[in-house]
Structure 1
Amino acid sequence: MLGEATKVTFAMKGLIALAFAGSIGMTFVVLACALQQYNNWWPFFVIVFYLLSPIPMVIARRYRDEMQASSVCHELAIFITTGIIISAFGLPMVLARAPRSQPVIEWGACGLVLAGNIVVFITILGFFIAFDSEDVDYSIWA
């Protein structure tokens, strides 16, 4: 019985740490949009990439073949997820450079969005690593 309590405590601490890290990353993105010298809400569109990035891996996990360590579906999901993550890093850079005479966002806002991207994507990766095991007993959260 003590082992179950320890497992629940460890899972709760991990979930709290992931929630804290995610809120820090989102704070960077909101600061990039809301600070007075930037005052431009275009960088907030990276939220779309945060929402899209876990979807291919969730779908691939649903159709994973237990016999093979790697499958075509899993590899395709990794490829699509990589494209989504690269797009999330590319969007603020493009917004900071184009058009050259009057960029859409400032480079400081771009830096804050990139810092937020790093934190949020590491948080998403941490969630998949922490809660990827098949032996998770979902009744411990009820």
Structure 2
Amino acid sequence: MMGDLPGHLRTCLHTGKLALLAILVSGGIVLQILACALYNNWWPMLTVIMYVLLPMPLLFFSGSDASLLSESDNSWVNATKFLTGASAVGSIAIPAILKHAGVIGWGALAMELSSYFVFVLAIMCCIRMNDDDDYSFL
């Protein structure tokens, strides 16, 4: 389908996809900061540590031929899956623990979790964009 379009139109569509990713990531950052600023409590910023740690196993351990969605006998791929999963769970667990301890309120928890899901949506869109065989930016 994309091969039938003129080059300038394809470039415009890909630029729009990148703009969508930028809007999603900046929306997640805004929600993260608002969760702290609106409630005058900066403890929810602990989640940023997990957001930084989340892609690290994928960058360091996963080879270019390894797929995280398939079964593998490679121990490095299994370690990558484990560490990525632990970081993803930590991104949800930190705000939940803070709420349970009474450090943050329900509004901050809701904004933190919505920020997480916006970031996950951005990652899913990025993965989907990289599946296009005629365009890749990573």
Deviation at 1:5, TM superposition (A): 2.8
Q: What is the rounded CA distance, in whole Å, between the counterparts of 2:45 and 2:66 in structure 1?
A: 37
Deviation at 1:60, TM superposition (A): 4.6
Deviation at 1:129, TM superposition (A): 2.6
Q: What is the rounded CA distance, in whole Å, between the counterparts of 2:49 and 2:95 in structure 1?
A: 13
When the two structures are superposed, what TM-score results if normalisation uses the length of structure 1? 0.75
Deviation at 1:27, TM superposition (A): 1.4
Alignment of 1:1-142 (within 5 A): 3-35=6-38, 38-64=39-65, 70-71=71-72, 72=74, 73-98=76-101, 103-131=102-130, 136=135
Deviations 1:59-83 (A, max 9, x none): 35544259xx654233432332121
Against the structure 1 CA distance between its residues 61 and 136, is the aligned structure 2 distance closer, same or farther, given a 3 Å change threshold? Answer: farther
- Give the letter aligned to residue 80 of structure 1: L
Q: Is the 8 A contact 1:46 1:91 kept in 2?
A: yes
Against the structure 1 CA distance between its residues 52 and 132, is the aligned structure 2 distance closer, same or farther, given a 3 Å change threshold? Answer: farther
Aligned length: 130
Deviation at 1:3, TM superposition (A): 4.1
Provide the identity percentage: 29
Deviation at 1:135, TM superposition (A): 5.8
RMSD: 2.6
Q: What is the rounded CA distance, in whole Å, between the counterparts of 1:84 and 1:137 in structure 2?
A: 26
Deviation at 1:134, TM superposition (A): 6.9
Deviation at 1:6, TM superposition (A): 3.3
Q: Is the 8 A contact 2:62 2:80 kept in 1?
A: no
When the two structures are superposed, what TM-score results if normalisation uses the length of structure 2? 0.77
Q: What is the rounded CA distance, in whole Å, between the counterparts of 1:76 and 1:134 in structure 2?
A: 28
Q: Is the 8 A contact 1:50 1:121 kept in 2?
A: no
- Give the letter aligned to residue 53 of structure 1: L
Q: What is the rounded CA distance, in whole Å, between the counterparts of 1:112 and 1:29 in structure 2?
A: 7
